[in-house]
């Protein structure tokens, strides 16, 4: 029997873009749980930021993919390990580049740069595996900065505003590891932004949640495996998951014997 694994982005996908409410998705979450499936949250947020949503959704000991795929942690391990983060900060101190990370900012500065409340900004600064920040240099300096980071095994991914440094793992990397751990598995991945593309593409069935606040994701190499929701946020999440669960149900029945 294949294990049902649902990998889901948070902001704009399982959570409403403006209110962070996930209530409309709860009927579909209940159906996943009724089938013994796991809902695995996958976000650019820190584990500290994600823990409240994880607990309110009643996900027990299910692991979380955190900091845009930099790591995968279980709830009990939140905040217990920051070796990667300290290593990144140490390299930054040796480079003296025009990069200002969250570790260089006060809680008030992070709140100002992100639009988060100070309580949320404090959790966003509780980093274990990656360092987002603002680049203040020119293109030539940036190329040299990226090359220097690469020599230390650190990669940089550009988002809408921040340049995020990590040791290279992605949401898709963590998804593949979990799928292997729970094999055999049937995977569904849902997201709404460019940093979700690899994860959506890797799943047995990928879901693009309608995003009214950003660019539409381009067609995938195997677009026939992709479902695009007609509604945004948690309403689109519910729509897509309830539509795909019958496919998993059919797999459990297996082929009809002949003769």
- Answer yes or no: is 179 within a domain: yes
Q: What is the share, in percent, of the chain residues with pLDDT greater than 70?
A: 97
122 and 94 share one domain: yes
The pLDDT, as a whole number, for residue 71 is: 93
Does residue 17 belong to any structural domain of this protein?
yes
Residue 1: the pLDDT is 81
Q: Which helix (H) or strand (E) holds 163?
A: strand 163-166
**Res 160: pLDDT:** 61
* 115-168 pLDDT per residue, tens: 889 999 999 999 999 999 999 999 999 999 999 999 999 998 876 678 889 998
- pLDDT, one tens digit per residue, over 8-36 is 999 999 999 888 899 999 999 999 999 99
Span 239-255, mean pLDDT?
90
pLDDT computed for residue 218 by the predictor? 92
The parent domain of residue 212 ranges over 3-70+170-253
Is the bond preceding 245 in cis, omega lying within 30 degrees of 0?
A: no
**Rounded to whole angstroms, how far apart are CA atoms 188 and 209?**
13
Please tell me whether residues 223 and 184 are part of one structural domain. Answer: yes
Of residues 51 and 259, more confidence is placed in: 51
Domain count, the chain: 2
For residue 122, tell me if it sits in a domain.
Answer: yes
Domain assignment of residue 259, yes or no: no
* Domain assignment of residue 75, yes or no: no
Q: Are residues 132 and 244 in the same domain?
A: no
Same domain? 30 vs 61: yes
Q: In what order do the strands lie in the sheet with 155-158?
A: 99-101, 131-135, 163-166, 155-158
**pLDDT for the residue numbered 144:** 96
Instruction: Provide the pLDDT for residue 258.
Output: 41
Asked whether residue 183 falls in the same domain as residue 206, the answer is yes
Residues 248, 228, single domain; the answer is: yes
pTM of the model: 0.88
Q: For residue 111, what are its two tokens?
A: 């709140």
Q: What is the pLDDT of residue 161?
A: 75
Instruction: Dig out the tokens for 89 from the structure.
Output: 């900060």
Domain limit, last residue, from 136, 166, 196? 166
Q: Are residues 148 and 182 in the same domain?
A: no
Taking the C-alpha atoms of residue 86 and residue 129, their distance in angstroms, rounded to an integer, is 8
Phi, psi angle pair for 67, to nearest 5°: 50, 50
Residue 259 has a pLDDT of 35
Q: Are residues 246 and 174 in the same domain?
A: yes
Decide if 78 is inside a domain. Answer: no
**Active-site residue flag, 196:** no
In a domain, 222, yes or no: yes
CA 212 to chain centre: 19
On the question of pLDDT at 40 being above 50, the answer is yes
Give the end of a domain, one of 151, 166, 181.
166
Rounded to the nearest 10 degrees, what angle do helices 139-151 and 83-95 cross at? Answer: 130
pLDDT of residue 256: 41
From the candidates 9, 16, 84, 196, give the one annotated as an active-site residue: 9
**Average confidence score pLDDT of the chain:** 93
Q: Which residues contact 125 (CB under 8 A, 6 or more apart)?
A: 102, 103, 105, 107, 110
DSSP 59-128: -TT--EEEGGGTEEE-GGGTTS--HHHHHHHHHHHHH--SEEEGGGS-HHHHHHHH---HHHHHHHT--S
CATH number at residue 174: 3.40.50.1000
pLDDT tens digits, one per residue of 194-237:
889 999 999 999 999 999 988 889 999 999 999 999 999 999 99
| CATH, residue 136 | 3.30.980.20
Q: Do both 124 and 244 map to the same domain?
A: no
Looking at the fold, whether 127 and 179 belong to one and the same domain comes out as no
């Amino acid at each position: 029997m294949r294990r049902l694994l649902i990998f889901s982005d948070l902001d704009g996908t399982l959570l409403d873009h403006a209110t962070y409410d996930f209530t409309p998705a709860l009927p579909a979450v209940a159906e996943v749980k009724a089938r013994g499936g796991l809902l695995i949250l996958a976000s650019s947020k820190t584990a500290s930021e994600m823990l409240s949503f994880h607990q309110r959704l009643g996900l027990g000991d299910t692991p979380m993919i955190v900091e845009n795929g930099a790591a995968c942690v279980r709830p009990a391990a939140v905040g217990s390990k920051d070796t990667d983060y300290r290593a990144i900060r140490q390299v930054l101190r040796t480079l003296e580049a025009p990069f200002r990370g969250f570790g260089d900012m006060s809680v008030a500065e992070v709140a100002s740069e992100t639009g988060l409340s100070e309580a949320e900004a404090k959790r966003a600064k509780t980093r274990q595996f990656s360092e987002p920040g603002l680049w203040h240099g020119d293109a030539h300096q940036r190329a040299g900065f990226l090359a220097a980071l690469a020599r230390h095994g650190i990669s940089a991914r550009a988002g809408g505003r921040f340049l995020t440094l990590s040791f290279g793992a992605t949401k898709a990397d963590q998804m593949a590891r979990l799928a292997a751990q729970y094999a055999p598995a049937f995977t569904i991945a849902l997201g709404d932004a460019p940093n979700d593309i690899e994860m959506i593409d890797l799943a047995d069935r990928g879901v693009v949640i309608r995003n009214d606040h950003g660019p539409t994701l381009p067609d995938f190499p195997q677009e026939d495996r992709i479902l695009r929701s007609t509604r945004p946020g948690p309403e689109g999440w519910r729509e897509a998951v309830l539509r795909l669960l019958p496919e998993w149900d059919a797999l459990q029945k297996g082929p009809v014997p002949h003769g």
